[in-house]
């Protein structure tokens, strides 16, 4: 009969090996596709976060327009966003990539603390001024503001969403620097975007302060402005202007002044260019000299200070070609751009925040041509030092000049 199975046949099916092969293929596909799906999901959350910050930036603009073109004051123990409750709804303070729900009383975004109480007109470049970014909720400030790189949360595939004062909002991968704010600085964004209290005397720090080595001793402006330090090779490797330049009282720590929340030193500097390094030191001791262990190849200004400047050679100890930051004995920032031209005055703006983060912007006229940033806790001795100096480094003819030094504090 047709329903009786013939002898020697068996029911069709999968063998164990076939099943294992299919399972392995599915597992491989899952391993490949799940990260893709996760990144796609995070990208959607990132876009939502961009929209949130754009709406918050608009609300802040409305607040400023309603309050004499001035940003909200420091809110102390309450969130900065609590003052925007009349301009938006609490849901936009919630980042979809974070657990929990951000609100106007506990936002998951931080506002630049340097903008508290500042006039909109005091911001020199709104397009580069950092306004908002993703807040690290592990230990936020009581007012949920941005105090430094530690407050930035790289929660979007290792990067963060950032809003600038002109209203544009971007995603930044936070790469290319040892610090998060340093990475933003390399992309042209400015954390210290408003002027502090000026405490320097323009006439006293007008300069110029000159240093040279080689045939420049024939030029009258360099007479008496040289300090040569010999390294192990016997070559002259580093020269400093004559007497150290005193920093204004209140810009460094002493018996009556704590180290400021932030210090900004602005100056103009010019170097010889080809095969010459020009540096400026801050928070240096009065007896500072150049430092070397073997000769010109590792020559730098005093290691017990902050050093910023322009390195023409490729010396690894100073970060290589470009504009660099050296904090104490640590190379705190690498290069950010091409070599600066010799014989040209460049304006340097150096900001030291929280006795740790150092930001450098370099301008040719009004155009920013280079930037650098580094982070390393300032030792107590560096905080106590109150002198500046200009240096040049080379083993043949060279010079460096600095002038028009201005010091501001917050």
Q: Residue 211: which CATH number?
A: 2.60.120
What is the residue range of 171's domain? 25-186
**pLDDT mean for each 10 residues of the chain (410 residues):** 51 77 86 70 82 95 95 95 92 89 93 95 91 94 92 91 94 81 82 90 89 53 44 52 88 93 93 73 82 52 78 50 66 56 88 88 86 83 92 71 93
pTM (2 d.p.): 0.77
Residue 156 inside a domain? The answer is: yes
Contacts of 193 (CB under 8 A, 6+ apart): 112, 114, 115, 123, 124, 125, 128, 129, 130, 165
Q: Are residues 202 and 169 in the same domain?
A: no
**In terms of domains, do 56 and 105 share one?**
yes
Considering the domain architecture, whether residues 167 and 202 belong to the same structural domain is answered as no
170 and 210 both lie in a single domain? no
Q: How far apart, in whole angstroms, are the C-alpha atoms of residue 78 and residue 143?
A: 5
State the pLDDT at residue 120: 94
pLDDT of residue 380: 92
Instruction: Among 125, 156, 186, identify where a domain stops.
Output: 186
What is the number of structural domains in the chain?
2
Query: Which pLDDT score, from 0 to 100, does residue 329 have?
Result: 58
Q: Distances from the Cα of 76 to the Cαs of 63, 79, 144, 152, 235, in angstroms?
A: 18, 8, 9, 20, 56
């Amino acid at each position: 009969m047709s329903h009786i199975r013939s002898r020697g046949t068996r029911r069709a099916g999968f063998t164990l090996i076939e099943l294992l092969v299919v399972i392995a293929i599915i597992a491989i596909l899952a391993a490949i596709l799940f990260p893709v799906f996760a990144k796609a999901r995070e990208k959607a959350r990132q876009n939502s976060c961009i929209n949130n910050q754009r709406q918050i930036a608009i609300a802040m603009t409305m607040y400023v327009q309603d309050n004499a073109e001035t940003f909200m004051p420091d809110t102390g123990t309450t969130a900065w966003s609590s003052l925007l409750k009349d301009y938006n709804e609490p849901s936009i303070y919630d980042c979809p990539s974070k657990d929990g729900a951000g609100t106007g009383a506990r936002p998951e975004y931080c506002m630049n603390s340097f903008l508290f109480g500042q006039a909109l007109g005091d911001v020199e470049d709104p397009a580069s001024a950092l306004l908002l970014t993703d807040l690290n909720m592990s230990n936020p400030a009581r007012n949920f503001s941005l105090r430094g790189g530690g407050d930035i949360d790289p929660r979007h595939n290792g990067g963060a969403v950032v809003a600038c004062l002109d209203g544009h909002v971007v995603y930044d991968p936070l790469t290319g620097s040892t610090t998060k704010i340093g990475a933003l600085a390399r992309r042209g964004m400015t954390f210290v975007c408003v002027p502090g209290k000026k405490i320097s005397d323009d006439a006293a720090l007008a300069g110029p302060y000159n240093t040279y080595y080689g045939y420049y001793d024939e030029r009258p402006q360099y007479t008496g402005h040289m300090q040569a330090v010999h390294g192990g090779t016997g070559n002259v490797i580093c020269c400093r202007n004559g007497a150290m330049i005193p920093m204004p009282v209140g810009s460094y720590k002493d018996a009556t002044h704590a180290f400021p929340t932030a210090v900004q030193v602005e100056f103009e500097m010019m170097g010889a260019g080809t095969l010459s390094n020009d540096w400026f030191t801050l928070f240096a001791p009065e007896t500072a000299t150049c430092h070397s262990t073997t000769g010109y190849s590792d020559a730098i200004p005093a290691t017990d200070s902050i050093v910023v400047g322009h390195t023409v050679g490729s010396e690894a100890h100073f970060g290589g070609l470009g504009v660099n930051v050296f904090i104490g004995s640590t190379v705190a920032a690498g290069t950010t751009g091409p070599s600066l031209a010799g014989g040209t005055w460049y304006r340097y703006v150096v900001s030291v925040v929280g006795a740790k983060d150092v930001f450098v912007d370099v301008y040719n006229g009004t155009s920013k041509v280079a930037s650098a940033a580094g982070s390393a806790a300032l030792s107590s001795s560096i905080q106590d030092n109150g002198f500046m100096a200009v240096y040049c480094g080379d083993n043949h003819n060279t010079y460096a000049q600095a002038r028009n030094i201005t010091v501001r504090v917050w």
